[in-house]
Amino acid sequence: MSRDDQPLIKTRRLTKRYGTLTAVDHLDLEVRPGEIFGLLGQNGAGKTTTILMLLGLTEPTSGDAIVAGLDPVRHPREVKRRVGYLPDAVGFYGGMTGRQNLRYTARLNGIGRTEAEASIARVLDQVSLTDRADDRVETYSRGMKQRLGIADALVKDPDILILDEPTTAIDPIGVIEILDLMRRLVEEHGLAILLSSHLLNQVQSICDRIGIFAAGRLIGEGTVTRLASLFGDGSATLEVGFEAAGPADIARIEAVLRGLPSVVAVTAPPPRSDAWRLSVRPASDEGAVRQAVLAAAVEHGLRLTALRPIVPSLDDIYRTALQRRLAADKERPPAKDAKGGRSAA
């Protein structure tokens, strides 16, 4: 497997059009070894079309993609050998056991019997299905089938896993198991994982970086912190905890916090809590304000119990990103067609 820092997935201006519909529009994307990259967007945003182009299952209209060092258009078979893919609707032969299904996949990939058996035993252990490996798949729950799907993608020892909505319609325990498995695969084996999903809380909990997809375009990319900076209001939030013996202590704490530089708003703790909220502007001063809180606690004899930045929820970031994209689209003049008229697209 590749273990250097070069991107295992790299696209430049990747575009796919179906007639007048642009499904993917000038996509620039990089996914590196040892990271989980979340491709976040509503149904119809272009996520699955992007995956199909990366796998060589559909050709781009324009632009380029390199996957595991290969061009999917020129070398689709080689790309498929290097990439494990779990589609949204994973299918197995229900009358066959999990192990038999994996053997079938191994044969399709030209893996010899001895190597295949060792690989199958390994991946079944990785997805915690060894105890059910010899039961028919028709007896599996959806979560078990999804884990078998990941095992199926891992049999050929890929460099990259591409997972399309892997936790849809799975119970909460099954979701936790799959997310934990993804993190283990990255940390223990250095895989790159491209996760396509519309489930914001799961993407935020597991992904190292996130790309927000809307109407075929990548409108924001980076860590949650970076996305919060891109789509935030220019402020940052700190949560600060203090022990307070009574109203006098609370009033003293509030006065100290309001006097700190760059603190533009102070919110007192709710009942049965000691957590104050500080709004910091500009957001770049957040680190300096944390230092100021520590110094003020010492200077004024305040009993500090907690100090941490509050990262905005991905739900808020995503909503803001889509609202800004919608507003920008409304302000953009209609495109002209080849005859100089207005285009309906």
- The pTM assigned to this predicted structure is 0.81
Write out the two tokens for 42: 């509503």
Query: Quick one: which H or E segment has residue 331?
Result: helix 314-331
pLDDT value at residue 335? 54
Q: With contact defined as beta carbons under 8 Å apart, do 280 and 236 qualify? A: yes
Pick 233-310's CATH classification: 3.30.565.10, 3.30.70.100, 2.60.120.260, 3.40.50.1100: 3.30.70.100
pLDDT value at residue 179? 92
What is the location of CATH 3.30.70.100 in the chain?
233-310
Given the structure tokens 């497997």, which residue do they identify? 1
* Residues with pLDDT less than 70, the chain: 1-4, 332-345
Q: With contact defined as beta carbons under 8 Å apart, do 212 and 221 qualify? A: yes
pLDDT value at residue 334? 60
Rounded Cα–Cα distance for residues 185 and 192 (Å): 9
Q: CATH class for domain 9-229? A: alpha beta
Query: Quick one: which H or E segment has residue 322?
Result: helix 314-331
Write out the two tokens for 151: 């095992």
State what percent of residues in the chain have pLDDT above 70. Answer: 95
pLDDT value at residue 220? 94
Q: With contact defined as beta carbons under 8 Å apart, do 111 and 128 qualify? A: no
- Which amino acid type is present at position 53? M
pLDDT value at residue 325? 85
pLDDT value at residue 300? 96
pLDDT value at residue 337? 52
Helix 286-300 and helix 247-258: axis angle, to 10°? 140
Rounded Cα–Cα distance for residues 186 and 17 (Å): 33
pLDDT value at residue 229? 85
Identify which of 236, 148, 161, 237 has the alpha carbon closest to the alpha carbon of residue 193. Answer: 161
What is the location of CATH 3.40.50.300 in the chain?
9-229
pLDDT value at residue 1? 41
Rounded Cα–Cα distance for residues 282 and 7 (Å): 33
